[in-house]
Amino acid sequence: MTHTIEVNDIKLYAYHGCLPEEGRIGGNYSVDICVKTNFTKSTLSDDLSDTVDYVLINKIVEEEMAIRSKLIEHVGQRIANRLKLEVKQLHSLRVKIIKHSPPIDGDVANVAIIIEETMV
């Protein structure tokens, strides 16, 4: 059986980007995490240790987003790697990072990257 846990719209202020100004000024980001797992055991036990702790997911995202990267692709992969390492019982994961009001020519609300991985 497969179940889904999502932690959506984690709002952060971070300093990612290739431009020097982005490292000084920073910008608004939001992150969505989706993990597939089997939480049948927790439905019976009502015990947090039998499921994925979304507090841990939020902590991982906050810590990795606090480390400056030129590319959100880079920080996204760091988040995925830590989820795989620290969150037990994952079948798959999806990390989406949205950079709001990117400094590019044109009227662009945001840009985003998505990383999807399946554990074997």
Q: List the pLDDT tens digit at each of the 120 positions of the chain.
A: 899 999 999 999 999 999 999 999 999 999 999 999 999 999 999 999 999 999 999 999 999 999 999 999 999 999 999 999 999 999 999 999 999 999 998 899 999 999 999 997
How many separate domains does the chain show?
1
> For residue 64, what is the domain's CATH number?
3.30.1130.10
> In terms of C-beta distances under 8 Å and separation of at least 24 residues, what long-range contacts does 102-108 make, across chains too?
102/17, 102/27, 103/17, 103/19, 103/21, 103/22
Which residue is it, tokens 């846990």?
5
Prediction pTM value = 0.96
State which residues form the domain around 63.
Answer: 3-118
Enclosing H/E stretch for 41: helix 40-45
109-118 burial, b if ≥16 CB within 10 A, otherwise e?
eeebbebeee
